[in-house]
Every structure is written in structure tokens, then in C-alpha cells.
Amino acid sequence: MARRFRLTLAQLNPTVGALGANAERARAVWAESRAAGAQMIALPEMFLTGYQTQDLVMKPAFAADAARHLEALARDCADGPALAIGAPLREGGRLFNAWFVLQGGAISAIVRKHHLPNESVFDERRLYASGDISGPYRTGGLRIGTPICEDAWFADVAEAQQESGAEMLLVPNGSPYARGRLDDRISHMVARVVETGLPLVYLNMVGGQDDQVFDGASFVLNPGGEVALMLPPFDEALAHVDFTETAQGWRAAAGPRAPQPDAWEQDYRAMVEATRDYLGKSGFSRAVLGLSGGIDSALVAAIAADALGPGNVHCVMLPSRFTAPDSLEDAAGVARALGTRLDTIPITGPQDAMTEALAPLFAGLAPDVTEENLQSRIRGTLLMALSNKFGAMLLTTGNKSEVAVGYATIYGDMNGGYNPIKDLYKTRVFETCRWRNSHHRGWMKGPAGEVISPRVIDKPPTAELRADQRDEDSLPPYPVLDAILDGLVDRDASVADLVAEGQDRETVLKVQALLYGAEWKRFQSAPGARLTKRAFWLDRRYPMVNRWRDEG
């Protein structure tokens, strides 16, 4: 009779630092896998501590606490399937990103991560030592090789494990979402399958942590690269995968293949999940934001409503003497369509009072951007007061184009604890609003239908800080600006590269100057959902003081 092996995959959402809660989740799904007749249950990379821990994992007391929880898990899960889980290992004065196999009340195997990513959002060489390549371990009569996350992006670890007798590869991951990342993962994992001739299980976590969102989409490949199973993106899932030994080796039985949505839906889902988890894991259940009647704040309001429910979103209109009647109507229309609360706090009184207080010092000086920014800072102060008083996190609403060139007021409209659209260029903001108006999914807590009026989407963007102001008074048209920023930020293109692509040299130089000059603002900006492989913060680290410019 052919040998069989049932593996349970736990695509779950841990919380960084919640060791007890994460361990309890592991116990619960272990019990469920035991009831399902599994020989082994696998949880993602560093699941016990949550991921990424950054420097927290280097604190000796934290690593020791994780070790105690791991030992308790081994004792509690002694009678049943093996439990495999990611956790830190402090050994011989060094710290490892490790994978533990718990069987029979003890730790039966330890795998230490060999390749440590040190790019993009990852800085693992700062945190961990590189472990030697580990051979396979045996559980349920099956020899399993485990390349941990980055280990599977190179050929050496998987090949060494196959040559040492591994019959299957199980790859635990903490791989955050970025547009197009799933295709990269599948491409690399297919290469490992082709090279080794072994089936491969790719297990990823889900959930938001700071700026990163882990999107799941775990999958199983049979030799030849055929997809046997694909779990849904962003959703928690528990899947029982049956393997059978054949004359050609072990093969996974075909299972469900969840559809993978397009990039527009995945970006929107990532912003919703990032907002929901950042607030929820920080202890907040409600959000407040300034709703201006413009497109950016309308999109943030929709994301917040979908993440938290409309009843937990407080929108505030803060009009000045420069606010157009259309803006008041449009803000009210968005709040009404979403079902959120909307209050109006005119800022003319505070603005007049501050102008009067500053008048003796400003005597003889013409009004300029100082007075414009004063309005934004009054709004920021009032919104923070509401956040403090009612325990709601203030969401800020600047898109990636504005964040890039500093078209925002520090301590004003940049105030806030989280920015859902920080990695979304303005041109994508327009299309994302149209996408949300025409799509509704079960994971959205907000209403279906047109929640952002076409008038909000189509009207010329303006900060309304002076009469007849338009964004294009200060910036190139957004299609031009975003094309230049895509080059400078996302592709590291030179000025000459962009001119060769058809951009005007003086415009490129102006945008470059704004980009470098705004670094100090970004350093103080709120975190936001990471959607691309070149988001501001960990993906792109530049000095705040920088006199170099590319002259093209």
C-alpha cells in the first residue's frame, strides 16, 4: 500500500510581541489538525514572535520569553501531530531565525536560516547569524527539507537538502505584499522544484505589521511545477494537504486553487488590511480624519470604512474662507454614501486669532506660504484634539506623489498615526476610486455602490489654502509628475534616463530638487501601507541633509 502523509498548512495572522496569543493560536490549530488526522501542522516563519520584530528580537529577555513559550508548546502538543513553527533561537552567543519541529513533547529538529535578506524592508544580517545549511528531518515517516523563506530563492539550500535525502520541501515564509510579488515567488519556487524534482510547499503568513502587509497566497507545487493548491490572498486559512508516495516520488493531491485578484484589487485590499491591523494591533477600534471634499481624503475615508466599519469612522470638515461650496457638498456626499459620521468645524475663528497674534511680528511683510500653512496646522491641531479626546486614531491622507515632493504641511495635514495611501501615486488614486465605486467584496465593511462621487474624482486637485489655488500651480500635471517619480524613486533612473524617455529636463530637475528637499518631512511622516517594492521608509533610505544633485 502506498504511503500517505497529511500536512496541515496554517496561513495565519500573528501579532508582533504577542507571544502568548500567538502560541495559543498555534495550540488551537494543532488541535484542529490532530482531529483532521494530520501527521504535521506547519505555521509560518517567526510565527511565535510575529514578523518582523526588528531589533526587539535582539533583546535577551524577549528571546528568552519566546524560548519559554516554545517549550510550553512542545509539552502541550505532545500527543498528536508534529508542530512546526518559526521562532528565534539564541545559541552559543548568537541569534538565529529558526524553524522548530515539536514532537512527542520535545523539540525534535531545528533548522537555522542560512541566507539572510539584507535589502528592501529586510535587515536580517543586523539581527541574526547565518546558520549552516540544515539537512532534512523526519516526521510521520517522511523526510522533509525546510529552506526558510530567503533560503528558497537560491538553489544551494534546496539542492543540499534533496541530496541529503529530503522527499519534500516545506518553505515557511514571512513575505510581505508588493505589487507583482506573487509572480516572483512562484517563479523562484518552480525553479527549486525543477532543480530538485521534489514537491514544494510555500507557506506564507497574512496580516499587517507597521507598513508591511503579508498577503498569504500560500501554494503547493508538484514536480514539474504544477500548482496543486493555492490559498486565498490576505485571508487566514487552514488547509489539509494529502501527499501520496508514487513510483516517481511524493505527490500532493489536487486541492482548491483560490483565484488571485488583479493588482487594483490587491492594492486596495492591502491598504484595507494594513489599516485594520495597524489600528487593531495598536489598540484602536476607531479612526478620525479630515474630509476636505477632495479625492485623497475621500479614498482614505472609504478605506477606513471598509477596514473598521462606517460606524467607527469619524470624518471632519474644517472649512476656511477659501473652501468652495462644492467642497462642502462633496465631503457631505462622501460621508453620506459611506455612512460615516461627519462634523464641521470652521477654522476661520482660530485663523483670525492666530493671524492677530502674529501681526506685530509680521508687520510690513506680505502674506505668503506661511499663512497658507497656518490653516493646515490649525486643522492638524483640531484633528489631533479629537483623536485625543475620543481615542480614535487620526489618519493622514497624503498620496505618494505629495509625500515624494513634500507637497504637504508638516505638523498640519501630515499629522496622524497612519497613512493608508502613502505608497499610492496620485494617478493611481484616481483609478483606485473608480475601482472601489464599481467593486464590492465580502471583506469590505463599507457599503457597496458609488461611494466617491465622479465630481470628486474629476475636479482639479486643490489644497484650497488661497483663492483659486490648483495643485498644478506648484507641480507638474500629475501624469507627468508620477512618470518622473516612478523613474527617480521606483527605478533609480538618472535625469538623463528620464530625458531620453521624453521628459523635459528642467521639469525633471525641479522634481528631483523637491524629492531630495522633502526627505526631512518624510522622516517625520506617519507610516503607511507598503504596496510597491520601493515604498518610502525601509525600501528607500536617504540622508535628510544631502547636497548632491544629478545634473543630467
Asked if residue 390 belongs to a domain, the reply is yes
Residue 214 is placed in which grid cell? 503579508
Asked if residue 351 belongs to a domain, the reply is yes
pLDDT score recorded for residue 159: 97
Asked if residue 540 belongs to a domain, the reply is no
Do residue 173 and residue 294 come from a single domain?
Answer: no
Give the closest residue to 539 by CA, choosing from 28, 119, 10. Answer: 119
> Mutual orientation of helices 19-35 and 60-76 as an angle, nearest 10°?
20
Domain boundary among 194, 221, 256: 256
Does the pLDDT of residue 328 top 80, yes or no? yes
Do residue 223 and residue 290 come from a single domain?
Answer: no
Kindly give, in sequence order, each residue whose CB lies less than 8 Å from that of residue 252, ignoring residues fewer than 6 positions away. 199, 201, 220, 222, 228, 229, 241, 242, 243
For position 320, which CATH number holds?
A: 3.40.50.620
φ, ψ (nearest 5 deg) of residue 293: 95, -5
Do residue 249 and residue 124 come from a single domain?
Answer: yes
Asked if residue 535 belongs to a domain, the reply is no
CB atoms within 10 A of CB 357: 10
- 18-31 mean pLDDT: 98
Domain boundary among 256, 273, 294: 256
Asked if residue 186 belongs to a domain, the reply is yes
pLDDT level of residue 469 (50, 70, 90 thresholds) = confident
Does the pLDDT of residue 535 top 70, yes or no? yes
pLDDT level of residue 114 (50, 70, 90 thresholds) = very high
Residue 246 is placed in which grid cell? 508514487
Do residue 159 and residue 298 come from a single domain?
Answer: no
Do residue 125 and residue 185 come from a single domain?
Answer: yes
Domain boundary among 238, 256, 274: 256
Tell me what the pLDDT averaged over the chain comes to: 96
Percent of the chain with pLDDT over 70: 100
| CA distances from residue 375 to 378, 381, 394 in whole angstroms, order as listed | 5, 10, 18
Do residue 99 and residue 179 come from a single domain?
Answer: yes
Do residue 49 and residue 147 come from a single domain?
Answer: yes
pLDDT score recorded for residue 468: 75
pLDDT level of residue 464 (50, 70, 90 thresholds) = low
Asked if residue 477 belongs to a domain, the reply is no
pLDDT score recorded for residue 465: 75
Query: Catalytic annotation on 329?
Result: no
| Vertex 521: Cα angle to 415 and 382 (nearest 5) | 15
Give the closest residue to 489 by CA, choosing from 536, 430, 424. Answer: 536
Do residue 268 and residue 239 come from a single domain?
Answer: no
Residue among 77, 124, 149, 402 flagged as catalytic? 149
Instruction: Report how far residue 275's alpha carbon sits from residue 304's, in angstroms, rounded to the nearest whole number.
Output: 7
- Cell 454614501, located at residue: 337
Do residue 445 and residue 318 come from a single domain?
Answer: yes
For position 169, which CATH number holds?
A: 3.60.110.10
Does the pLDDT of residue 392 top 90, yes or no? yes
- Taking every pair of Cα atoms in the chain, the longest distance, rounded to a whole number of angstroms, is 95
pLDDT score recorded for residue 462: 77
Residue among 77, 113, 433, 521 flagged as catalytic? 113
Do residue 247 and residue 268 come from a single domain?
Answer: no
Distance of CA 50 to the CA centre of its chain: 14
Per-residue pLDDT reduced to its tens digit, 245-287: 998 999 999 999 999 999 999 999 999 999 999 999 999 999 9
Does the pLDDT of residue 97 top 70, yes or no? yes
Q: Tell me the pairing of strands 313-317 and 287-290.
A: parallel
Give the closest residue to 45 by CA, choosing from 11, 68, 75, 76. Answer: 11
| CA distances from residue 28 to 155, 240, 549 in whole angstroms, order as listed | 35, 15, 56
Do residue 326 and residue 442 come from a single domain?
Answer: yes
**Whether 179 contacts 531, CB under 8 Å:** yes
pLDDT score recorded for residue 38: 97
Query: Catalytic annotation on 113?
Result: yes
pLDDT score recorded for residue 472: 78
Distance of CA 116 to the CA centre of its chain: 20
Instruction: Report how far residue 293's alpha carbon sits from residue 462's, in angstroms, rounded to the nearest whole number.
Output: 10
- 430-447 mean pLDDT: 98
Asked if residue 405 belongs to a domain, the reply is yes
DSSP string, 81-92: SEEEEEEEEEET
Instruction: Give the helix/strand (H/E) hosting 516.
Output: helix 505-517
Asked if residue 550 belongs to a domain, the reply is no
- 353-362 mean pLDDT: 95
Per-residue pLDDT reduced to its tens digit, 159-207: 999 999 999 999 999 999 999 999 999 999 999 999 999 999 999 999 9
Total count of domains within the chain: 2
Do residue 214 and residue 120 come from a single domain?
Answer: yes
Domain hosting 445: range is: 264-469
| Vertex 166: Cα angle to 160 and 168 (nearest 5) | 115
Separate counts of helices (H) and strands (E) for the chain: 17, 19
